Amino acid sequence: MPTQTPERPAATYHRPEAALEATQHWALRDLPPFPSIAVKLLQLLSDEEVQVKRLIELLRSDAALSAELLRRANSALYGARTQVSSLQQGLVLLGLDQVRSLAMAVALGSYVKSAMRIAALRRCWRHSLATALLSERLAHAVHFEADRAYTAGLLHDIGLLGLMVNNPKEYANLLLVSRENGFDIRVTEQAMFDVDHCEAGAWLARQWAFPEEILNSVRHHHDPIDDSQYGLLAITQSAVLLSDVLGFGVIPPSETGLDPSPYEALRLQFPAAAQDCLPLRMEVLQDFLTQRINAYE
Ligand SMILES: [Fe+2]
Ligand SMILES: [Fe+2]
97 and 191 share one domain: no
Residues, Cβ < 5 Å to ion ligand 1: 157
Of 94, 115, 136, the residue at which a domain comes to its end is 115
- C-alpha to C-alpha distance for 257 and 134, rounded to whole angstroms: 21
Predicted pLDDT at 253: 86
pLDDT tens digits for range 115-161: 999 999 999 999 999 999 999 999 999 999 998 999 999 999 999 99
Q: What pLDDT score was predicted for residue 21?
A: 55
User: Which of 1-5, 147-151, 236-240, 288-292 tops mean pLDDT?
Assistant: 236-240
Query: What pTM was estimated for this model as a whole?
Result: 0.88
How far is ligand 2, taken at its centre, from the CA of residue 240, in Å?
Answer: 5
Return the pLDDT at 12: 42
Query: What is the mean predicted confidence (pLDDT) over 198-221?
Result: 94
Please state the rounded mean pLDDT for residues 235-251.
Answer: 97
Query: What average pLDDT does the segment 156-178 reach?
Result: 96
Q: Are residues 129 and 66 in the same domain?
A: no
Assess if residue 96 is contained within a domain. Answer: yes
Same domain, 102 and 231: no
| Average pLDDT value for residue range 240-256 | 92
Look at residue 239 in the predicted model and tell me its pLDDT: 98
Contacts of 31 (CB under 8 A, 6+ apart): 162, 165, 166, 204
Between these two residues, 86 and 268, which has the higher pLDDT value?
Answer: 268
Assigned domain for 41 exists: yes
Range among 56-60, 165-169, 253-257 rated most confident: 165-169
Rg (CA), the chain: 19
The pLDDT assigned to 8 comes to 41
- Sign of torsion, CA 27 195 189 223? negative
Mean pLDDT of 60-85: 75
Q: 85, exposed or middle or buried, with CB in 10 Å at 0-12, 13-18, 19+?
A: exposed
Q: Could you read off the pLDDT of 219-234 as tens digits, one per residue?
A: 999 999 987 889 999 9
The Cα–Cα gap between 227 and 237 comes to 10
**pLDDT grade for 80, boundaries at 50, 70 and 90:** low
Same domain membership, residue 152 and residue 111: no
Q: Is 286 within a domain?
A: yes
Give the pLDDT confidence score for residue 185 in this predicted structure. 97
The whole-number average pLDDT for the span 199-219 is 94
Q: What is the CATH number of the domain that holds 191?
A: 1.10.3210.10
Q: Does the residue 18 lie in any domain?
A: no
On whether residue 255 sits in a domain, the answer given is yes
**Ligand 2 midpoint to CA 33 (Å):** 21
Residue 79 has pLDDT above 80, yes or no: no
Q: 123 with 249, same domain? A: yes
Domain co-membership, 58 together with 180: no
Whether residue 270 has pLDDT greater than 80: yes
pLDDT at 83: 75
C-alpha–C-alpha distance, residues 60 and 56, integer Å: 6
A 10 A CB-CB count for 196 gives 23
Domain hosting 256: range is: 118-297
Rounded to the nearest whole angstrom, what is the distance from the C-alpha of residue 155 to the centroid of ligand 1? Answer: 10
Centre of ligand 2 to C-alpha 203, Å, is 17
Are 99 and 124 in a shared domain?
no
Q: Running DSSP on this structure, what letter comes out for residue 83? A: P
Q: Ligand 2: distance of its center to the CA of 291 in Å?
A: 20
Ligand 1 center–CA 114 separation, angstroms? 20
User: Distance from the CA of 124 to the center of ligand 1, in angstroms?
Assistant: 10
Lowest mean pLDDT among 39-53, 212-226, 277-291: 39-53
The answer to whether residue 66 sits within a structural domain is yes
Are 124 and 107 part of one and the same domain? no
**DSSP H helical ranges for the chain:** 36-45, 52-60, 63-73, 87-94, 96-112, 119-141, 146-155, 158-166, 168-181, 185-193, 197-207, 212-220, 232-245, 261-269, 272-276, 282-296
How many whole angstroms from 188 Cα to the centroid of ligand 1? 13
Average confidence score pLDDT of the chain: 86
Instruction: Render pLDDT for 14-46 as a digit per residue (tens, 0 to 9).
Output: 444 444 555 678 999 989 889 888 888 888 776
Q: What angle is formed at CA 20 by the lines to CA 125 and CA 103, rounded to 5 degrees?
A: 30
Asked if the structure places residue 2 within a domain, the reply is no
Domain boundary among 97, 115, 133: 115
Q: What is the number of the ligand closest to the CA of 131?
A: 2
- Answer yes or no: are the C-beta atoms of 28 and 203 closer than 8 Å: yes
Is residue 124 located within the same domain as residue 84? no
Q: Do both 94 and 149 map to the same domain? A: no
Domain final residue, candidates 61, 96, 115: 115
Classify residue 47: in a domain, yes or no. yes
For residue 100, pLDDT over 90 is answered with no
Q: What's the total number of domains in the chain? A: 2
**Minimum-distance ligand to the CA of 223?**
1
pLDDT at position 22 is 58
Residues of the chain with pLDDT > 70: what percent? Answer: 88
64 and 179 share one domain: no
> Are 198 and 91 found together in one domain?
no
